[in-house]
Amino acid sequence: MSAELIDPRGPRFGAAITSALSLTAFGIAVSAPGGFFTAYPLIVLLAVLFSWSVFSPKTHPYGLVFKKLVRPRLAAPSELEDSRPPQFAQKVGLGFALLGLVGFWFAPVLVAVSAGFIFFAAFLNAFFNFCLGCQMYLGLKRFGLVR
């Protein structure tokens, strides 16, 4: 894969939106009876957004909003980052979204589990600059699970 350099604040901006969406989904899912059903469309939305970053990161709405509205207001980045770890993290996110998307039809509670995991990872990424998926990249490589 090509080593492309990106502004590291881009993925964090996206993660902030993802964490708001997933916390909303989690909140709806665990609050009301039948919440799993009400929250399901949000899981579908998250799955679409993650798939978009995995398959066509350049056209992703988060990226476009960041480029048009956010980055012009920020100072130049002190350092550019390799796009591979955040890209990998998006695949991990997609994996969890699929857990909710598909798992719902077998056990509706998986909607809450899925939203909970997505929120945990996205919030740490956005507000603590800790990218769980990126850390997993080296860890999983160590165990030979990704190439």
Partner 1 sequence: MYLALGLLGLTLIAGIFYKVSTGSGRSIQRSQIIDLARLGAHQNGQPVTDPGKSATLLLFSTEYCGRCPAVRRSLAEIESRTEGVLHADVDLTDRIDVAAKFNISQTPTVFILNPKGEVTFRVSGVPKPGLIQQELTKLGIK
Nearest distance from C-beta of residue 7 to partner 1, angstroms: 11
139: buried, middle or exposed (CB in 10 Å: 19+, 13-18, 0-12)?
exposed
Of the two residues 61 and 135, which places its CB atom closer to partner 1 in the complex? 135
Instruction: Find the helix packing angle between 84-103 and 35-55, rounded to 10°.
Output: 150
- Which positions lie near partner 1, rule CB under 8 A? 3, 8, 23, 26-27, 30-31, 78-82, 84-85, 116, 119-120, 123-124, 127-128, 130, 135, 137-139, 141-142, 144
Residues 6 or more apart whose CB falls under 8 angstroms from that of 88 comprise 133, 134, 136, 137, 146
Nearest distance from C-beta of residue 87 to partner 1, angstroms: 10
Nearest distance from C-beta of residue 134 to partner 1, angstroms: 8
Of the two residues 52 and 120, which places its CB atom closer to partner 1 in the complex? 120
Of the two residues 13 and 26, which places its CB atom closer to partner 1 in the complex? 26
Q: Which residues of 92-128 are buried (b: 16+ CB within 10 A; e: fewer)?
A: bbbebbbbbbebbeeebebbbbbbbbbbbbbbbbbee
Of the two residues 27 and 108, which places its CB atom closer to partner 1 in the complex? 27
Nearest distance from C-beta of residue 62 to partner 1, angstroms: 18
